[in-house]
Amino acid sequence: MNHLALIEKTQSLIAAGDISGAEAALVELADTQGDNALVEVLAQLPAKDVLAVIREYDSSKDSIINLMLTPEQFARAVVIEKQYRDLTRSHLRGMMNGIIFRAGADPVEFLSAIGDLEGGSEALADYFDEKWSRVEAFARTGSFDAADDDGDIVDEEDLRNNAWARPKIDRDDVADQDWMEMAWLLRYEMPDLFIEMLLVLRAKAQAFELGQDAPPSASDDGKVETRDTDLGRTTPAAIDPDEESAI
């Protein structure tokens, strides 16, 4: 099967809701024609189709597709993941952890690619959504231990003035390939992006506390229910409808 035909088949399977079938077709391509062929096809697939496959990341098994994604391809998928109505962010955290911390990868390259795109800091804030208080404590004290935090909010100017402060904890101490290590990398390797993300996270937390966060059903912003997508059966047609087809 030539690459154009494979792209058409993959997009048709995704449009029909057969995400597992689309993934299998891409894996078969790598098995029969090699990794370079898969790289070429992934480069031609729209970000929404790449996302439909990789957001179903299963940490219990290796995925050749996740291994072949470039930081730029992954970033384009990450920034549109919010268009799925996944209030738990479990898919976002799973695919970010699995791909950014994959063997042989440079996490900073992936985070840089995300930060370079509009919506990148928002996507990172979504990733840390459930850990807001501990990330805030880390920003203020350099420790994830809430007992070390006096609760005072450090303003943006002070955050930037202390952006290159010496780490209080080593990366090895939080090398969990999860949110703690991600926060450490952002703060000490990419402080500007960390601050941008934290400001978004603060705004989200404040809106929630003030009761300004409307339920998804009250604000139709193009997001879709993920009861089916969480089972890998479909992908939201609403994602980036103006995005050009790869064909």
Q: What is the pLDDT of residue 149?
A: 61
Looking at the chain, the number of H-run helices and the number of E-run strands are: 13, 2
Q: What is the pLDDT of residue 203?
A: 92
Spatial separation of the C-alpha atoms in residues 130 and 121, rounded to whole Å: 16
Task: Tell me the two tokens of residue 233.
Answer: 């059966």
Cα angle value 32/33/35 (rounded, 5°) = 110
Spatial separation of the C-alpha atoms in residues 72 and 87, rounded to whole Å: 25
Q: What is the pLDDT of residue 165?
A: 84
Q: In sequence order, what are the residues at sequence separation of 6 or more whose Cβ sits closer than 8 angstroms to the Cβ of residue 104?
A: none
Q: What is the pLDDT of residue 58?
A: 74
Q: What is the pLDDT of residue 212?
A: 63
pLDDT-flagged residues of the chain (< 50): 214-234, 237-238, 241-242, 244-247
Residue 98 amino acid letter: G
pLDDT digits (tens, 9 = 90+) for 126-135: 999 999 989 9
